[in-house]
Structure formats: C-alpha cells, structure tokens
A = this chain, B = another copy of it.
Amino acid sequence: MITSHKPRAVCLVSGGLDSCVSAAIAEETCRLAFLHVTYGQRTEKRELKAFRAIADHYRVQERLETSISYLREIGGSALTDRRIAVPPGNPAREGIPATYVPFRNTHLIAIAVSWAEVLGARFIYIGATEMDSSGYPDCRATYFQAYNRLIEEGTKPGTSIRIVTPLLHLDKAGVVREGIKRAAPLHLTWSCYAQEDAACGRCDSCLLRLKGFREAGAEDPIQYSTKYSTKT
C-alpha cells in the first residue's frame, strides 16, 4: 500500500473557472478533498454538474456536496432572490453589484474549516480574485487575513488550518494562463450567472471570463448561446 505524505487540502470548487484553476494548483502539492456548496443560486444544477466533472477529472475521493438554503431565505441578492434581476454586465462599473450575496464567502469557508478539522486537512484553497471580484468585500486580501486569524482563534488547540488564495492577485487573463499551464480542465467549468444550457455571454461573469480568454490569447472552450464580440 502506498501512503501519500502530502498534506490534505479542502478545495472550494464551485465549478467555475477560478475554483478549477485553484484546485489545479492545490493538486501539485496536496491530496485533494472537494467541497461544493449550493446556496439557491440560479444556475446551481449546472454548477454542480461542473463540480462533479472536475472532481472526476482529478479522481477526487473525498467529496462533500451540501447546500445552505438560508441564503435564499435571507435574500438580498440577485443571485438568490428571484425578485431582483441579474443586471446586464458591466464589470468595470463602481460599487457592489446586485449579484452580491451578503457575507457569502464566510459561510463557504466556515464549512470548509469544519470539514478540514474533521479530515485533518491543513489547507483550504479558494479561487478568490481581488482584481476581478466585482467589488465583493469578501474577496480581498485583508478579508482572508482576518479569516485566518479567526480560524486560529476558533479551532481546537493544535489545529493548523490556513486559507490559501493562489489567484488573489491575478486578473482573469492570468487565471486562464495558470489554468492552461497546468492543463486544468477548463472545458468542464461553468461561469454564467444567468443560464444553464449554454452560457449567456452577457452577464458580469460571462463578460469577465470572455475578456480573460481574449487577453490570454486563448479560445474559451465552452459553448455560448449568443455570438459575442471579441473586441475589448
């Protein structure tokens, strides 16, 4: 029997581009455990399909698929509240977008920490990006620093769990390049906030993704429902 001495990492894998590339980076030094959380977002079935495809690609045994229904009950975001429209994208505009889910990453990471404590995992990988985060406050370096401090305070003595954010200072083109370099299965990922069959090509998330591939000089391998402009 071969025993791996690599540390274990819990990877938060939404099924999107960033989390796929983050997992590809974790895979180089860690044994992977994949966590997927649905929270009532519009495209949750499509994202779960992407999660499973990426987990299969990396032959991940330890998987946890769970849901936090209360974010929909709480509401307040176009991503989870059907009464608030997903606005047409304009990633460069100022302020917090309507797709902001209050304090969302805190919930996702808290689940990862509880699971990591039980699994004995050392790291939590999250594909957050500060630059292209559309102004979400829970995607900034200072937020993750504060969270690492909270983990030190809130877990059992002797526990060592740290959040790792390998993409934090990359723009979307940088994420695409990192993914291509590591042969990450980008064709299995899903980013669209609005549709589940083919990506809409118009929401914030699609526009950022397309811009990233364009700037990285690469073709996005997923299917779009509309002809999109290749101009910046």
Contact = CB atoms under 8 A, between A and B. Distances in A.
A102 B114 contact: yes
Interface stretch (A52-60, A143-151, A205-213, A215-223): A143-151
Interface stretch (A15-23, A69-77, A166-174, A187-195): A69-77
A138 B117 contact: no
Residue among A106, A115, A137 having the largest count of chain B Cβ atoms under 10 Å: A106
A48 B145 CA distance: 36
Interface in A64-113: 64, 66-71, 73-76, 96, 100-107, 110-111, 113
Measured as residues with beta carbon below 8 angstroms from the partner, the interface class of chain A is 35 or more
Given A64-B70, A66-B73, A143-B154, A113 B103 contact: yes
Contact of A147 (B69, B73, B117, B150): B150
Interface SS, A side: helix
A137 B157 contact: yes
B111 A137 contact: no
A140 interface: yes
Residue among A37, A70, A145, A147 having the largest count of chain B Cβ atoms under 10 Å: A70
A118 interface: yes
A94 to B, nearest CB: 11
A118 B104 CA distance: 13
Contacts of A67: 69-70
A153 interface: yes
Residue among A64, A75, A100, A103 having the largest count of chain B Cβ atoms under 10 Å: A103
Contacts of A101: 114
Contact of A150 (B66, B96, B117, B146): B146
Given A74-B111, A102-B117, A138-B154, 15 more contacts: A74-B118, A75-B118, A76-B117, A101-B114, A102-B114, A103-B110, A103-B151, A105-B154, A106-B150, A107-B114, A137-B154, A137-B155, A138-B153, A142-B153, A146-B153
A223 B171 CA distance: 61
Nearest to A81: B118
